[in-house]
Amino acid sequence: MDIKIRDRKIDEGEFLKERKGVLSMWPTGKEVNLEEAIDYHKKLPDHKNFMKVAERLHREGKTVVFPRAGTPILEQEIELNQTLYESGLPLIPVTPDSYCRLLKFDKAKQGLEDSIRSGKPKLNGFPTVIHGVKNTRKVVESTEAALNQRMTNLDTRLMGEIAFAAGMTAGLQDPMIDFGCYEKNTTVEQIMRNSQYIYRLMGYYAERGAIITVDIDGMLPHGVFPLSVSIAGVVAVALLAARQGVKSIIPWSNMLGHIGQDIAWARLTRRLVREYLDRFGYKDTATPALFVAQVPIFPYPQDMGWSFGFLNYSAMVAAMAEAEGVYLRTIDEAAGIPVKESHAVSYRSAKWIFDVVREQKMKFDFEEIRVEERIAEMEIRALLDKVFEVGDGDLAVGLQKAFDLGFMDTPFSSNIHMKGKVLGVRDMKGACRYLDFGNLPIPKEAREYHQEKIAERERLQGKKPDYHTVVEEFWSFSKAHLIETKEKVYTVPASGKRVMKKAHTVITGTVGQDSHSIGSRLLSRVLKDNGFKVVELGGLTPPEEFIHAARETDASAILVSSLYGMAEFDLAGFKEACVEAGLQDILLYLGGYLVVGRHDWAETESRFKALGFDRVYPPEIDLDKMIDDLMTDLSARGKTKN
């Protein structure tokens, strides 16, 4: 592969020339006046500057919630942010809709117009690019909080331009999370280059006295998997950002449910990012805070009591790790994209934990934390050494080569360029261990440690952890335990339980601009276990691609996942398109977070059945029951026998 990207600071002339093309991507780009925006930033009060608020939280020893929140209608976005600030949140994200993130500006414009017309959100976030500088600045000026533009996917250059020109003083920009979690066909190189533009833009502001903070989230683990690869990515991206002149960086660490590991990973992330920045000469780049994230990707509890427990576990760990911020999902996460009321009650609950725990000023330091920190540090340093080695000292080249060779890897990624040769499971205490190291350059001592912990579990349980263990433990934390128990989420049926006349072909994937593919991946595995031929399309799949695949393979069913709340946009006319393609008899199944906002499931189910789907499922389902439903429906059409 010819790698063209280099870890070099973009020349100012080159940068300004590129900006002209970026600002022409949508009419609102004309509203950006860089010099006026810099002057505007300089006049903002300290409580609207993300870095200064983060520094204050660190000095005062406080933890706050940093949520995920965004809604398309301007007045409702303003009201949401005011509600969050009144709930004790001085730092607030502006989460964009998925169409803007993927440059589908025409669709975002239509979604915004439909939202305004109905008075209800039809997009899953705030379409910053469509609103432009003028309207987005109204959002900035209507709250006393410091705002952070969330930016994911391949190209968010125009979104960053508009957000910063409007007065937002921070933004998420991390090529690792984009590559591993939000893109399907894009390479690390392509995403790094666009990230360099955002970092250079932040550097341009900084050179003129306006500091914009970047937060770096790392590559989310798609399931139970040690965080070493993710943390190594956070360190590497911090260096890429600093190279372009970024002067304020907030690193993130994730929590996966084991207290010792969660605290160890958080502390290690803060320490190593600072160490590597200093080592490479970026001592003037501030790291004002550490943020941690609630167990990512995993299903959220349906039970209200468990939802509060899930939330407050995360709040407790954040306080124990002395993080300044923590991303928490609301108690309504399992019901759909949350509304402002669920945000408010959820964050008041977390604030109670923060206030009580941080006030005690206790230092949580026990042997298990120290051991986990030592092992993880060994792994992270080895990963970073390998990145620099294969890149001949160039960090950008090294990252691309490391992913190409599997030296950086994660399981269940939606991206076709990820090797995906690694797997993780928990040990008997619930800590995350490597089940399969793939090509990761994990040192011998660390490998043996993980292997010993898994062997201990095997001895105590009397069986080897395998892929089915991995599937079970994807669900376990939402069911109030860490490791696989006798109560299964799904079971592979005994031989002869289900008999088909032929091995039916089914199509699976996540529709539209939705990159959340892990649920679809697990579903595909269960279908294969039950004798189906599965064509996996993965995330970010256009509706027409499902239909084309079904025609080409003579499929019996299409099983569509959607987890970002905009299924109604994506699937309008889908049944009619199937009929037009000669697939009038194909079974259509749909499942996930299908609409924006809290909703009555019966009404949602009815709505999508009216669109032509034979079965419609909520986010958390019994996969074994779904297989039974599929067999029943196939049998009714004369395609199976008992």
Can you read off the two tokens belonging to residue 131?
Answer: 């609103």
Dihedrals φ, ψ of 150, to 5°? -80, 130
Amino acid (one-letter) located at 282 = Y
What is the model's pLDDT at position 334? Answer: 58
Pairing type for strands 505-510 and 533-536 reads parallel
Q: What is the pLDDT of residues 329-379, one digit of tens each?
A: 887 765 555 667 777 888 889 999 999 999 898 888 889 999 999 999 999
What is the model's pLDDT at position 495? Answer: 36
Whether residue 328 contacts residue 315, with contact meaning beta carbons closer than 8 Å, is answered with yes
Report helix, strand or coil for 211: coil
What is the model's pLDDT at position 285? Answer: 98
Which of 528, 507, 442 lies closest to 225 in space, CA to CA? 442
Q: What element of type H or E holds 150?
A: strand 146-150
Can you read off the two tokens belonging to residue 608?
Answer: 């999508």
What is the model's pLDDT at position 624? Answer: 80
What is the model's pLDDT at position 621? Answer: 75
* Residue where the block lists tokens 């005011």: 82
State the first-to-last Cα distance of the chain, in angstroms, to the nearest integer.
Answer: 52
Across 113-142, b (16+ Cβ under 10 Å) vs e yields ebbeeeeebbbbbbbbbbbbbebbbebbeb
> Which residues does 475 contact at the CB level (< 8 Å), separation at least 6?
298, 299, 489, 620
d(CA 45, CA 511): 43
What is the model's pLDDT at position 474? Answer: 75
Across 165-194, b (16+ Cβ under 10 Å) vs e yields bbbbbbbbbbbbbbbbbbbbebbbbbbbbb
Can you read off the two tokens belonging to residue 395?
Answer: 């960090």
Residues 363, 509 within the same domain = no
- Which of the listed residues 367, 396, 424 is the one where a domain comes to its end? 367
* Residue 414 CB coordination number (10 Å): 26
What CATH number has the domain bearing residue 559?
A: 3.40.50.280
Please, which residues bridge with residue 505 across strands? 533
What is the sign of the dihedral through the CA atoms of 461, 466, 470 and 472? negative
Q: What element of type H or E holds 160?
A: helix 157-166
Listed as ranges, residues in the chain with pLDDT below 70 are 1, 295-299, 333-339, 484-501, 513-515, 597-598, 639-642
What is the model's pLDDT at position 632? Answer: 92
Q: What element of type H or E holds 387?
A: helix 367-390
CA distances from 633 to 139, 291, 535 (A): 50, 47, 19
What is the model's pLDDT at position 553? Answer: 96
Report helix, strand or coil for 168: coil
Which of 529, 511, 476 lies closest to 591 in space, CA to CA? 511
d(CA 71, CA 340): 10
Can you read off the two tokens belonging to residue 450?
Answer: 């993980």
Which of 163, 160, 231, 220 lies closest to 196 in space, CA to CA? 160
Domain presence at residue 556: yes
User: Please, how many CA atoms are within 13 Å of residue 349, restricted to the half-sphere of its CB?
Assistant: 20
Can you read off the two tokens belonging to residue 186?
Answer: 């894009």
Domain residues for the domain of 518 are 499-641
Domain presence at residue 275: yes
Q: What is the pLDDT of residues 221-273, one digit of tens each?
A: 878 999 999 999 999 999 999 999 999 999 999 999 999 999 999 999 999 99
Domain presence at residue 7: no
What total number of domains does the chain contain? Answer: 2
Whether residue 416 contacts residue 538, with contact meaning beta carbons closer than 8 Å, is answered with yes
Domain presence at residue 312: yes
List alpha helices for 477-573, DSSP H: 518-529, 543-553, 567-571
What is the model's pLDDT at position 337? Answer: 57
List alpha helices for 487-534, DSSP H: 518-529
What is the model's pLDDT at position 492? Answer: 43
What CATH number has the domain bearing residue 334?
A: 3.20.20.240
- Which of the listed residues 328, 350, 367 is the one where a domain comes to its end? 367
Domain presence at residue 361: yes
| Three-state DSSP string of 46-112 | HHHCHHHHHHHHHHHCCCEECCCCCCCCHHHHHHHHHHHHHCCCCEEEECCCHHHHCCCHHHHHHHH
Domain presence at residue 207: yes
Whether residue 126 contacts residue 337, with contact meaning beta carbons closer than 8 Å, is answered with no
What is the sign of the dihedral through the CA atoms of 350, 356, 358 and 364? negative
> Which residues does 464 contact at the CB level (< 8 Å), separation at least 6?
458
d(CA 106, CA 111): 9
d(CA 106, CA 118): 18
- The catalytic residue positions are 514, 516
Model confidence, pTM: 0.89
Domain presence at residue 353: yes
What is the model's pLDDT at position 482? Answer: 85
Whether residue 427 contacts residue 452, with contact meaning beta carbons closer than 8 Å, is answered with no
What is the model's pLDDT at position 345? Answer: 87
- Which of the listed residues 316, 336, 367 is the one where a domain comes to its end? 367
Domain presence at residue 252: yes
